Structure 1
Amino acid sequence: MEKIESEIKEYFFVESKNWLIGGSRGLYGGQVIVQSLASATLTVPPEYGIHSMYSYFLLAGDYEKNIEFQVERIRDGRSFATRHVKAKQGDSTIFTVTCSFHKYEDYSTEIQYKMIDVYPPEHKIYPVVEHHKDKLPNPSQIFQDMNLSVFNKYSLISRTATFKDPEMEETNSQIIKSRLWAADAINLIVNKHENAFSDDKVFINKDKSKVNPNMKHPYDNTVGNPLCCRWFKFGANLEECTQQTQYLFIAMISDFWIPNFISSPYFWGYNYGLVSIGMIVTLDHTLYFHNNTGNAKSKAKFRADEWILFTLESPTVTNNKQFVTGKFYSQSGEHIASIGQETLFRVTETKKVLKSNKNVENLRFKLDENVLNLAREYNPITNFNYIQREPKLVSFESDEKKSEFIATQKPKL
């Protein structure tokens, strides 16, 4: 426990500083998430590893104020321990989270989807935005390859994850080299395949007669897709850190790219310039940590100072709320964590729209399920691995009509 406490103090509570990342987002939500989880972790035996946490953001945090974390012991069982944490500034509770910890137990099988098929982070070298200590980054730089200072202590290193699509690779490079946001490269790849299904529009309630398409770029007649992936790692030597600490780094970054990437359908391509951001705020945030065995194993299943792939998609927006799901993979392809989040997403009409009386209702959208299925061509639903403990692999296939998994080969026991 002393080792975990030392690592938490070293990486997540740095001289009582808050992590200032620029823009109007105020206190970064990922900081509150990780510090709340770290506080809960210090109250459970080290052989218990975090496996899930459910959190709610109640009030905006103040960067100038310290945060107090109050941990309530809900339950200590033989297999599970539960903690409830309140993050407070003064008399106000700004954040609550319930954390569940699981004591390591023996198991015989693992099942997961194959990792999305992208090039490694070293595949292309794009311009890198360097964020220097005590200097605020431009919020748009979050979309580019960057080295971002964290607590003025270590760095978050982020690189573009490019889908393995030979036809689009060169276009990908040109977009990123021209310092456009990385989301556009992903939109191009997904939209390239959309016509393969039908002549029907992928997004509904989008009336082109009411809007003049923006012709600055060839992809501006398409609607951006809320889909993205990024490589990232932390610029610190974490080789000797405990597994609990490695997962804390995942918690800290889990809310980082979401507020910007989910706005792609509104601010890229066809809908460009029609609305402006009114408010983007995280409402709730759920994290699942897979195969966290506490200190029962000598080495962590992954390291946060080695490349991790973060994939995000948002299947729906309704009533000013957007639902987002995401997955974390080690570079070797192991699924190490998952997230779910609901975000308050308010947009306002621009003067351009108000003057011309354009109908902004065309900005409502839903993704056609066929498009989502094709997008998952890069995360194939047909590559479903049954992993025996040795491990041994067996392939599963899916019946597209019934959306059910069918075994094509029995596992070799």
Structure 2
Amino acid sequence: MATLIRPPPPDPEKSSIESVLELFRLSDIDPNLFTNKQPLWHPPGARGVYGGAVIAQCLSAAMRTVPDNFNIHSMHCYFVLNGSSEIPIIYHVERVREGKSFCTRTVQARQRGQPIFTTTMSFMREGSGGKELVKHSVEMDDVPQPVKENGSQRFPQGLEGPFQSQRIDITNHRSKYPQLKKTRQWIKARGKISESGGQAAHLEALAYMSDSYFIGTVARVHRLWRFSNSRPIDNNKVKIDDDVSKSVRDLEEQEVAQSPMETRPEIGMMVSLDHTIYFHAPKDFRADEWLFTEMSSPWAGDGRGLVFQHIYTQKGKLVATCVQEGVVRLRQQEQSKL
């Protein structure tokens, strides 16, 4: 069973991303325990559920335990085990610290009694920084603006998925130096996030979308094959709809079309290890309006890769910075038997 309690009917007043991330509070057991209302998405070919959902639901659980005048400013996450889409997730919030200016929470996501994900979050009391502030920010590049719906629209989780994106060409795409390249895209939640969801719903949606194509940046800047005709994704291994299956096949065809005769190394394994989000302006954006994300990889080696991500509003305000490290292993050539 994918949820502990029967999922409620869809609420027409809420956006799809709100419905995906809704939690039940298990108050009769422990007011610090929560569980997912809806089954979580398992990406085709992935080892477990989409990590962005667990990140966002941990954030949602923690925010319910802090005063309304405290805002999230950072969360540091570790992916411990693969999460199953067939088993409910239990989120346990620990109230680590209650301070005048800062409070701290840790959240463990558990399945079968084992932690699959753990995160520590820090919240800051609104206005506690003082009247005189040190301020600066990295500026957003001059990039093509998102366009109205056309062929450039992408739905990473199918046509009914909770968010959509538009990719922009990689900067320095032909450079031999991967660390000089930047992958860029516009993202936003589909539909309109409800007034009842408040800014918490926009923060959860940003956290959810921040994991989209994140560690995959390493593969893109190295121009590695992520899909192979010799090793096609078996859609029978995970339950996915036709729209998501089509999205995966479109990506496969896109890679082949871009370099049909090129011999390049192929990804053998790529999974996230950790994920950090710094929320710079938690009340100054809407996740159902276009957000610009820019990703770069300063380093890769020893079977791992590191990626930085900046997230801006359409007007160029930097609202979040994210960091992720993951396993990035090449498919090894079979050694000839002696």
| TM-score above 0.5 | yes
Q: CA deviation at 1:270?
A: 12
Alignment of 1:164-175 (within 5 A): none
Give me the whole-angstrom Cα distance separating, in 2, the residues matched to 1:341 and 1:287. Answer: 9
Whether the 8 Å CA contact 1:69–1:85 is kept in 2: the answer is yes
Match of 1:235 in 2: 190
**Matches of 1:34 and 1:343 in 2, distance apart?**
19
The yes-or-no answer on 1:278 pairing with 2:268 is: yes
Q: Residue 71 and residue 276 in structure 1: after superposition, are their counterparts in 2 closer, same or farther (change >3 A)?
A: same
| 1:24-56 deviation per Cα after TM superposition (whole angstroms, max 9, x unaligned) | 242111111111111111111111111001111
SS at structure 1 position matched to 2:155 = strand
- Identity, % of aligned pairs? 31
| Structure-2 change in CA distance of 1:62 and 1:112 (3 Å) | same
Q: For the structure 1 residues 17 and 224, does the alpha-carbon distance in structure 2 shift closer, same or farther, using more than 3 Å as the test?
A: same
- Partner residue in 1 for 2:165: 158
Q: Does 1:27 align with 2:41?
A: no
Aligned pair in 2 of structure 1 residues 191, 285: CA closer, same or farther (>3 Å)?
closer
Partner-residue secondary structure (3-state), 1:146: coil
Question: What per-residue deviation string (whole Å, max 9, x for no partner) do you get for residues 279-320 of structure 1?
Answer: 11111111100123xxxxxxx411111100011000111111
Find the partner of 1:147 among 145, 150, 155: 155
CA distances 1:186-235 after superposition (whole Å, capped 9, x unpaired): 1xx4156x6xxxxxxx44xxxxxxxxxxxxxxxxxxx7965201001111
Q: Quick check: 1:12 aligned with 2:21?
A: yes
Question: Using a 3 Å threshold, how does the CA distance of structure 1 residues 102 and 345 change in structure 2: closer, same or farther?
Answer: same
Corresponding residue number in structure 2 for 1:337: 320
For the residue of structure 2 that corresponds to 1:116, the secondary structure is coil
Offset of residue 9 of structure 1:
6.7
Contact 1:243 1:301 in 2 (8 A): no
SS in 1 for 2:206: helix
- Whether the 8 Å contact between 2:173 and 2:181 is mirrored in structure 1 is no
Q: Give yes or no for the alignment of 1:251 onto 2:234.
A: no
Report which stretch shifted further, 105-114 or 333-342: 105-114
Partner residue, 2:141:
116
> 2:122 corresponds to which residue?
100
Provide the aligned length of Structure 1 versus Structure 2. 271
Could you say which residue in structure 2 is the equivalent of 1:317? 300
Distance in 2 (alpha carbons) for counterparts of 1:16 and 1:191:
39
For the 8 Å contact 2:61–2:93, the answer to whether it is kept is yes
The answer to whether the 8 A contact 1:32-1:87 is kept is yes
In structure 2, distance between residues paired with 1:151 and 1:84: 34
Please report the TM-score for the alignment, with normalisation by the length of structure 1.
Answer: 0.60
Provide the aligned C-alpha RMSD in A.
2.9
Contact 2:277–2:321, Cα closer than 8 Å, also in 1: yes
Shift of 1:246: 1.2
Runs of 4+ in 1 over 3 A off after TM superposition: 6-11, 106-110, 148-152, 223-226, 268-274
Q: 1:151 to 1:74 in 2, by over 3 A?
A: farther
Paired with 1:88 and 1:42, the residues of 2 have a C-alpha distance of 18
Q: 1:315 is aligned with what amino acid?
A: P
Tell me by how many angstroms 1:272 deviates: 4.9
C-alpha distance after superposition, 1:298-347 (max 9, x if no partner): xx411111100011000111111101101100001110000011111111
- Note the residue ranges of structure 1 that are not aligned, 5 or more in a row: 1-5, 129-144, 162-184, 195-201, 204-222, 293-299, 356-413
Structure 2 residue runs of 5 or longer lacking an equivalent are 1-13, 23-35, 226-258
Render the CA deviation track for 1:220-264: whole Å, top value 9, x for unaligned: xxx796520100111121263422221111111111111323202
- 2:235 paired residue number: none
From 39, 53, 60, the equivalent of 2:82 is 60
Q: CA deviation at 1:148?
A: 4.4
CA distance in 1, matches of 2:274, 2:157: 26
1:288 maps to what in 2? 278
Relative to structure 1, the CA distance from residue 245 to residue 107 in structure 2 (aligned partners, 3 Å threshold; closer, same or farther) is farther
Normalised by the size of structure 2, how large is the TM-score?
0.72
Cross-structure match for 1:3 = none
Deviation at 1:151, TM superposition (A): 11
Range that drifts further, 51-60 or 108-117: 108-117
Residues 273 and 325, structure 2, Cα contact 8 Å, conserved in 1: yes
Where do residues 196-207 of structure 1 align in structure 2 (5 Å cutoff)?
202-203=176-177
Decide whether the 8 Å contact of 1:226 with 1:261 is kept in 2: no
- For residues 230 and 151 of structure 1, the distance between their equivalents in structure 2, rounded to whole angstroms, comes to 18
